[in-house]
Structure 1
Amino acid sequence: MDEAEIIRQVGLLRQEHRDLDAAIDAMIFATASDQLQVARLKKRKLKLKDEIAALEDMLIPDIIA
């Protein structure tokens, strides 16, 4: 992947992360929220965060000390 593609992918993942955050909040405040579904969404959100961090690490050049 080139740098532009990584940056684009990070942007898409960040948007999905924000969307999941909004969905989780909506489900939590619903009167009859499905706790299993909330847990699955939270797990997906954490996975997205890890993917974002891995892609951002690819953008940082390695420095030999």
Structure 2
Amino acid sequence: MNAPSEMDPLEVKRVKLRVLVREHRDLDDAIRALEETGTADPFTVRRLKKQKLVLKDRIAVLEDEITPDIIA
């Protein structure tokens, strides 16, 4: 029988990156929706914005790991 194939570590990072980008976009949509209603709890909005910044940092780290350094 065939052994289960494992994903390349680089491909795993790409999948994680896509998931994080999607989560970042979803948080952005949620924040926008809360702010548009005008009834949003400021602490909730602040917490969501903080989560969005954490995701942005994690995205940047993964992008750096995926993109090779090219010395011009």
Structure 2 length normalisation: TM-score? Answer: 0.81
Q: Output the CA distance in 1 between the equivalents of 2:59 and 2:17.
A: 6
Q: Which residue of 1 aligns with 2:9?
A: 2
Bigger share in helix = 1
Q: Flag structure 1 segments of 5+ consecutive residues without an equivalent.
A: none
Q: Output the CA distance in 1 between the equivalents of 2:45 and 2:70.
A: 41
Q: Name the Cα RMSD after superposition.
A: 1.7
Q: Which residue of 2 aligns with 1:26?
A: 33
Q: Output the CA distance in 1 between the equivalents of 2:51 and 2:57.
A: 10
Aligned-residue identity in percent: 48
1:55 corresponds to 2:57: no
Q: Output the CA distance in 2 between the equivalents of 1:31 and 1:63.
A: 47
| Total equivalences in the alignment | 65
Deviations 1:9-57 (A, max 9, x none): 0000000000000000011111311000000000000110000000011
1:36 corresponds to 2:43: yes
Q: Which residue of 2 aligns with 1:45?
A: 52
Q: Flag structure 2 segments of 5+ consecutive residues without an equivalent.
A: 1-7
Larger radius of gyration: 2
